[in-house]
């Protein structure tokens, strides 16, 4: 179509923004995997890729914000769209923080906990997929967005369960308390992704509710 509404432009940018956020999550995931394998050079290279993706996502967020300021979307939705994009952007920030935490602070992860860390990280990152579909379906079908919101809530609850189990395992080891706290901090950073994704899902829910008559 030769003419695109401001709203369509915003939605296209949001899609692009989501891709960048996913890219940052992939970078974070690779950082964790390579770090746990002991491949530090590769982990550091993925950290810089994560930072690059986060920076590009941030740039897109600013462009979206400019379009919203210029009047894209009805005012009743504008604030929610802005908050949604901001929330999704925070996921990329979390991915960057987590990658930097690993490569700079190098927490000492015991061998028997490595699989648990990977499992929590994979499940926390996996929540991005329904979030992506939920957000993209704002411009297609609200009913799918609602389904995805429900899926995000279920997945976040599963991640919470894993987090709880991993925390118990960390504190039942013979590690120094400082070490335990360090690992606990890493867990918090990983699960922050699913927590923020759930917050974003709540904004999606608000957007869907607002169109009801």
Binding span for another protein by CB under 8 A among 103-111, 133-141, 150-158, 183-191 = 133-141
CA–CA gap between residue 46 and residue 61 (Å, rounded)? 22
Which residues have a Cβ under 8 Å from the Cβ of 80 and sit 6 or more positions away? Answer: 203, 206, 207, 210
DSSP 172: T
Q: Determine contact, residues 24/95, Cβ cutoff 8 Å.
A: yes
Query: Of the ranges 57-65, 106-114, 135-143, 181-189, which one interacts with another protein (CB under 8 A)?
Result: 135-143
Rule CB under 8 A: say whether 211 interacts with another protein.
yes
Does residue 76 belong to the site contacting another protein (CB under 8 A)? yes
Asked if residue 213 binds another protein (CB under 8 A), the reply is yes
The residue among 135, 109, 140, 120 whose CA lies nearest residue 43 is 109
Q: Which CB sits closer to another protein, 29 or 207? A: 207
Q: Which one of residues 96, 137, 194, 205 is an interface residue with another protein (CB under 8 A)?
A: 137
Position 8 contacts another protein (CB under 8 A): yes
Write the DSSP symbol of residue 43. Answer: H
Cα separation, 120 vs 115, whole angstroms: 9
Which residues inside 144-173 make contact with another protein, applying CB under 8 A? none
Q: Which residues bind another protein (CB under 8 A)?
A: 5, 7-8, 11, 71, 73-77, 137-143, 207, 210-213
């Amino acid at each position: 179509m030769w003419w695109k509404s401001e709203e369509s432009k915003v939605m296209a940018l949001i899609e692009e923004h989501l891709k960048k956020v996913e890219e940052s999550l992939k970078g974070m995931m690779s950082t964790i995997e390579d770090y746990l394998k002991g491949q530090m050079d590769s982990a550091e290279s993925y950290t810089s890729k994560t930072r690059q993706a986060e920076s590009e996502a941030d740039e897109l967020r600013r462009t979206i914000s400019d379009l919203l300021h210029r009047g894209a979307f009805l005012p009743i939705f504008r604030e929610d769209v802005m908050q949604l994009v901001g929330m999704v952007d925070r996921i990329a920030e979390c991915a960057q923080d987590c990658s930097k935490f690993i490569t700079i602070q190098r927490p000492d992860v015991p061998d028997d906990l490595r699989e648990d860390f990977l499992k929590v990280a994979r499940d926390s990152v996996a929540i991005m997929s329904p979030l992506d579909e939920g957000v993209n379906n704002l411009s297609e079908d609200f009913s799918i967005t609602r389904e995805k919101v429900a899926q995000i809530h279920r997945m976040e609850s599963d991640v919470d369960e894993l987090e709880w189990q991993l925390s118990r395992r960390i504190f039942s080891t013979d590690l120094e308390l400082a070490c335990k706290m360090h690992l606990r901090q890493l867990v918090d950073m990983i699960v922050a992704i699913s927590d923020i994704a759930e917050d974003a899902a709540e904004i999606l829910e608000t957007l869907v509710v607002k169109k009801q008559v």
